[in-house]
Structure 1
Amino acid sequence: MDWTAEAIERLKALWAEGHSTAEIGRRMGISKNAVVGKAHRLNLPARPSPIRRDAAPRPVPVPRAPRPMPAARITPPPILRASPMVAPAPAPVAATPVVRAFPVASSRPRLGSRTCCWPIGEPGTSGFRFCGGDPMAGKPYCTEHAALAYVKPRDRREDAA
């Protein structure tokens, strides 16, 4: 954009009226960033932040001394009772997912071993294990699990315009 003398005078007038940079840009048909840049180069007075702050400043917290640990607990801790509110009904469980047949390997492959590291089952349960199949070259997963783990990025040109 070419900043003509008329455009600069209009910018200064709108700035003096207290309009936001976005509003000045809309009225002049230019971007907000163009308004900010030109106002900076013209050394126009700074604007107050549009972010609302509390009227009173927050006090600085004073560090406390650590509390001494009790010597020994004589009474057992109180038993916490559940509130009388009724718990919500559990969500319905979806149908059993389709399970693919992958080769069964040891429950935990050794670090550095050349086996598929795809987790199968719920961690912490007795049925949890890793796939253990032969991994693809340079990947930690077998062919089937690599197809699930690595998704090709979409062509960004589709999203343009």
Structure 2
Amino acid sequence: MNWTDERVELLRKLWSEGLSASQIAAQLGGVSRNAVIGKVHRLKLSSRGRATAAPTRQKKATATAPSATKSVQRTVTTTRTVTATIGATALQAQFDVEPVARHYIRPVENVVVPISRRLQLIQLSERTCKWPNGDPLSEDFNFCGNDVGDSGPYCGYHSKVAFQPASERRKAR
């Protein structure tokens, strides 16, 4: 099937009127729905589903100042635009979804940073914290050196910094 100038003009007219590719193919005759869709893409005809550009996502976040004895509360509000298809014509209608506010409460702990014993590599043992301090290429590079107990290679403070609980990793996704 050849796309003559008359058939292309009829395609443009029917497309702008909002007919589906199947309906246009039936009116043109001798052409498939996929051929109509391909020609529409090659002609770069506008999509008929949107009257205006889609609004961008907006995020609003507020946080209260943390204190040593209170919990931190954070509110996140987002606005989304949802696109729904209508029937076989694949026209798209856009509407805004009501904003959803989520509250995240995370307890604030009193954090005590231990004083480093500033051990060199040859001074480390199985019972000393192996948390590196500084740049390994500098002369004043050292390790924490505090007692580790049974928690692994780091002291209690550095273990909390190095290892994040699995439940919090899942929440961050």
- Determine if the TM-score, normalized by the shorter chain, exceeds 0.5: no
Q: Which one has more relative contact order, counting CA pairs under 8 Å at least 6 apart?
A: 2
Q: Which structure features the higher share of helix residues?
A: 2
TM-score tier (shorter): 0.3 to 0.5
TM-score, length-scaled by structure 1:
0.35
TM-score, length-scaled by structure 2:
0.33
